[in-house]
Amino acid sequence: MPEDMTAPMGDCFDQIARDAVYRAMFTRRDVRSHFTSEAIDDEVLARLLLAAHHAPSVGFMQPWNFIVIRDAARREKVRDLFLAAREQELPEIEEERRALYRKLKLEGICESALNICITCDRQRSKASPLGRWHNPQMDLYSTVCAVQNFWLAARAEGVGVGWVSIIEAQALKDLLSIPEHVTPIAYLCVGRVSQFAPKPDLETQGWGQRLPLPELIMSETFCGQGETALKSTVARLKAVEAQAAK
Ligand SMILES: Cc1cc2nc3c(=O)[nH]c(=O)nc-3n(C[C@H](O)[C@H](O)[C@H](O)COP(=O)(O)O)c2cc1C
């Protein structure tokens, strides 16, 4: 429970706790296909929202709101928005990948127990833009941190989360009565699942693969060579990651 976690525990977690944190990260999945009909208890949902609310935020502005969407008719309308947006996106996909794109399951809006739209209020604490004067987009990034907290906590609770971004933002705002100055950041399908897939669905379906991490590490400047020892260590750890995901 969150209250217990506030007790000081020294500089680092014990091994079991550390393993649990990494396990949540390595086994978290974007879920679209394996939702069950089981409801989510409000106690569980409350913990997930509390985890999201403890995300870091620029100037501690906490720009987020959480719209809980349970109504089936409203969700069907969101799904229609998804279907329309997918048709609009399709011509932008490389021609040889379009058939595969059409086959991909990219949402679980109606099958999941509920949906949550996490928004960013761009005017919250606007009189004191600590950290946002030069970089106004930091409020958006802060809200993404809340999404990730929610996602990881959900994995630990055995709750699946799928992020649906193939939706036209203004149409979603109209449907959910989101004011002009508020930006929808994440539309999430949330529910109990029959399984968490061992790999990303897009990897299983041949859309993409995880990039080799050593190739993404640079030294001192963009494209700077070096950090050979670190890259070797990272390459060795990858095997551990694969083990954790089993
Ligand atoms: C910002 C963002 C938007 C995403 N939008 C979609 C989406 O519209 N539909 C979908 O099926 N997955 C979406 N995803 C999930 C990614 O496809 C998924 O994270 C990626 O394939 C890796 O799989 P994993 O999350 O299971 O590790 C989104 C993820 C992020 C971070």
Quick: pLDDT tens for 128-182: 999 999 999 999 999 999 999 999 999 999 999 999 999 999 999 999 999 999 9
pLDDT single digits (tens) 175-234:
999 999 999 999 999 999 999 999 999 999 999 999 999 999 999 999 999 999 999 999
105 has a pLDDT exceeding 90: yes
Q: Which residues line ligand 1 (CB under 6 A)?
A: 29-30, 32, 106-107, 162-166, 200, 202
Burial 67-100 (b: 16+ CB within 10 A, else e): eebeeeeebeebbebbeebbeeeeeeeeeeeeee
Question: What are the structural domains, with CATH classification, of the chain?
Answer: 28-208 (3.40.109.10), 211-246 (no CATH)
Confidence of residue 238 (pLDDT cuts 50, 70, 90): confident
Q: Which two tokens stand for residue 40?
A: 């989510």
CA of 7 to the centre of ligand 1 (A): 34
C-alpha 8 to ligand 1 mean position (Å): 35
| Predicted local confidence at residue 177, as pLDDT | 98
The pLDDT-based confidence of 237 (bands split at 50, 70, 90) is confident
Q: Is the pLDDT of residue 79 over 60?
A: yes
- Contact predicate 36/192, CB 8 Å: yes
At residue 7 the predicted structure's pLDDT band, cuts being 50, 70 and 90, is low
Q: Give the CA count within 13 Å in the CB-facing half-sphere of 113.
A: 17
Is the predicted pLDDT of residue 6 greater than 90, yes or no? Answer: no
What is the pTM (predicted TM-score) of this model? 0.94
Low-confidence winner among 10-14, 91-95, 128-132, 173-177 (lowest mean pLDDT): 10-14
Is residue 9 over pLDDT 60? Answer: no
Ligand 1 pocket: which of 23, 26, 29, 30 to mutate (most atoms within 8 A of CB):
30
Mean pLDDT, the chain, as a whole number? 93
Give 202 Cα–ligand 1 centroid separation in angstroms: 9
Nearest CA to ligand 1 atom 10: 106
Between the CA of 163 and the centroid of ligand 1 the distance, in Å, is: 6
pLDDT of residue 135: 94
- The protein residue with its alpha carbon nearest to ligand 1, atom 22, reads 200
Walk across the sheet containing 159-164 and list its strands: 64-69, 114-121, 182-192, 159-164
Tell the burial category of 172 from Cβ atoms under 10 Å away from its Cβ (0-12, 13-18, 19+).
buried
Whole-number percent of the chain with pLDDT over 70: 93
